[in-house]
A = this chain, B = another copy of it.
């Protein structure tokens, strides 16, 4: 896989582009001289994890013939360290809407978070990755 990232101003605003040409913006926070023109790289890491788990979760739910009316994930990452602050814990809270079977949802999320997600498998094994969920009828 190949991506390109280029500087979009004289500070820390970057435009990143993958194989399909769509641009995503990233920036640093104003606290360190950024202009908040996009999420920070550490936020983008959480987005990548949530996106990966979501593709897998939705595929599994479809195979289980669960009719998903709406879907979102809130991700929270806790960082620790002094000079460098990697993630130590990440929780993904899934909110799924529809007439869904709770056991099947749990199975789908468990498989997507703990087994099939290539982003999760690319992360440091010391990061504790957990999930929780709500079903909204």
Contact = CB atoms under 8 A, between A and B. Distances in A.
B20 A39 contact: yes
Interface of A: 1-7, 12, 14, 16-20, 22, 24-29, 32-34, 36-52, 54-55, 58-59, 70-77, 79, 81, 83-87, 115-119, 121-125, 127
A47 B46 contact: no
Given A40-B18, A47-B26, A55-B12, A1 B77 contact: yes
Contacts of A79: 1, 118
> How many identical subunits does the complex contain?
2
B72 A4 contact: yes
A99 to B, nearest CB: 17
5 contacts: A3-B39, A3-B74, A5-B75, A24-B24, A44-B47
